[in-house]
Structure 1
Amino acid sequence: MSKYKCLPDLQRECIDATKVFDYVLTSKQQCFENVAFLFSEMVNGNMIDVDSCQIASTSTCIEISDPNNRPTVTVELPDGTVELEVVTLQKTVNLFVEAEIIAPNGAITSSTATATVVFCPEEVVMCAPTGTLIDCMITDTSRCVVGSLTPVGLEFPNVATGNVHVLACQSIQSNALVKLEILAKICDTRSIIPVPEVCEVNPIPQQCPSVFPSDQ
């Protein structure tokens, strides 16, 4: 501890912290056929012109492998070999579409629709020993493209189907809660900044001395 003599205000503290064991950014793309979109308007008998497709923030990416028994593989790295774990992930992506509904008489109505697609399971090699948790998040750089949509029919007047291409970008990290001993200083409260309480004097209206009071 001698090298910290120049920091007399610091002391040894033990804190809880989340340690990141591994962190990667990956992407996965997949084409889904005959995806059912549920519209907010009746689309049966009409044409559908898709304006945009977005991936909703409610989309999920979870680990479906056993966190207590992940398969291991030996990987050759430039500085030697290392044993890593194979993590299996499952993504469920919620889609949000904005479109125009074109009636046979030419009338156009704006509408929105939602759909859900499930990716095939995928494997990622990571440093994820037993005791770590996998945190997977679909990032906002993901995107989707919807082809032409065809109404299903009278049985489901608000549903149309079509093909969708989804590119899912994902942030994946393995982490665990650990206790760390650090050199730190406990934070003190800052001084209170008072609320200004200045009362302003009502201004006196401007006088007209050339008119009143008069010398006459």
Structure 2
Amino acid sequence: MNINTLERHCIKALKVFDWVNSVLNIQLKEITKIKEDKFDDLICCDFQVPCNSKVPSTIWTGLGVENISGTINIVFHCGCGGIMDVIVNGEKLISLIEGASFCATISDLQSINVLCHSPSDQLGFCKGELKMVLHFNPFKNKGSCIDLKKTKCFLSDSCGNPLDPTVPGSIICEELQEENGRKNVGAMLPNGQFVVLQKVKVLKRGFVTVEFFDEKGDIWKKCTIPFSEIETFFLCAPIGTVLNCKITDFDCETYIIPSLDSEWFEMIIFIKICQDIRILGEVKIEVVGNFCEPRRAIEIKKTCSAPIPPSQCFSTF
């Protein structure tokens, strides 16, 4: 090939101006409760039950929720001229006449039923009102103890759902732009050469979730905690270049330090993030060559060979 017949062309290409691999270590300290927080609820409703029913009518039940306690207030407005029995957790506590009310605090509240009686066989309804202030714990590990030596820490979203750290966006990694752009900093290379580098600040942020387990191995408590850290790099990052950040590995460990107060404990979380930091920018490159065009396809014609006569044709009689 004669180089004198080639043409010169300029093309755009993505150039790596600088490239470093680094490990970021983040330490978090959090204080949390050992015991689960209880929930409060206020219930207020009117009820109407038939008179002279042989079966008590349920006006409230805590089906599916454990560890309920609270204060109840029942008012018997009117009925069939008789009395109304108040039954809590299957046990009759009191009989109310019309216009009377009953108030009590129950430590283990499961159900509330009423049974309306009438001195005659007349049909009708007993009407009343129920007011309740409830305190309850919806978690099912009642009676078990938390195992402070058993925890699980992982990268997650803000709702505690696990994330793959290598998927873009699982950990936010972006450059913090300064008002006057990147600052130039002089540096001496190991070979003694003096160079001018740029100061690049990189922000990492995301969420980790820590799960605690009880003695049975069931999840006792879950905490989702945000993290963030700003790193400073000195890179070859001239004007027009951009930061490209890729997370290559992630690790999270949790250590529990019991407090003198039995209600609280301290979590120390160690996060390790392995990252690939590159400074990229478009550059123009001059290349020597000619534009090529596709050639025409070569058609190969297949021909048949001459037939071979049978051997008996050459026999002499």
Short-chain TM bin: 0.5 to 0.7
Q: Deviations over 1:156-206 (max 9, x none)?
A: xxxx97221112221111111234344587797xxxxxxxxxxxxxxxxxx
How far is 1:43 from its partner?
9.1
Alignment partner of 1:135 is 2:244: yes
Cα pair 1:48 1:149 within 8 Å, conserved: no
Q: Distance in 2 between matches of 1:115 and 1:187?
A: 59
Matched, 1:59 2:171: yes
- Counterpart in the other structure of 2:55: none
Residue of structure 2 equivalent to 1:163: 268
Q: Where does residue 175 of structure 1 map in the other structure? A: 280
Equivalent of 2:187 in 75, 80, 101: 75
Q: Give the whole-Å Cα distance in 2 for the aligned partners of 1:84 and 1:4.
A: 40
Counterpart in the other structure of 2:18? 22
Letter in 1 for 2:204: K
Unaligned stretches of 5+ residues in structure 2? 33-137, 156-162, 259-264, 295-317
- TM-score, scaled to structure 2: 0.43
Shift of 1:47: 1.8
> Are 1:24 and 1:172, in contact at CA under 8 Å, matched by a contact in 2?
yes
Q: CA RMSD in A?
A: 4.0
Q: In the alignment, what sits opposite 2:256?
A: 148
AA aligned opposite 2:146:
M
- Cα pair distance change 1:162/1:68, threshold 3 Å: same
Task: Note the residue ranges of structure 1 that are not aligned, 5 or more in a row.
Answer: 151-159, 189-216
Aligned partners of 1:63 and 1:90 also within 8 Å:
yes
Q: Which stretch of the first structure deviates more once superposed, 169-178 or 126-135?
A: 169-178
Give the counterpart of 2:198 among 79, 85, 91.
85
Shift of 1:72: 1.0
Counterpart Cα distance in 2 of 1:87 and 1:60: 16
Q: Which residue of 1 aligns with 2:208?
A: 95
Aligned residue pair count: 167
Identity over aligned pairs, percent? 25
Change (3 A) 1:2 1:184: closer
The match for 1:34 among 22, 30, 34 is 30
Tell me which of 217, 223, 228 is aligned to 1:118.
228
Residue identity in the other structure for 1:175? L
Equivalent AA in structure 1 for residue 281 of structure 2? A
Aligned CA distance change for structure 1 residues 88 and 101 (closer, same or farther; 3 Å): same
The higher relative CO (CA closer than 8 Å, separation ≥ 6) is in 1
Q: CA deviation at 1:135?
A: 1.2
Matched, 1:47 2:146: yes
- Give the number of the structure whose alpha-carbon radius of gyration is greater: 2
Distance 1:72 1:43 in 2: 59
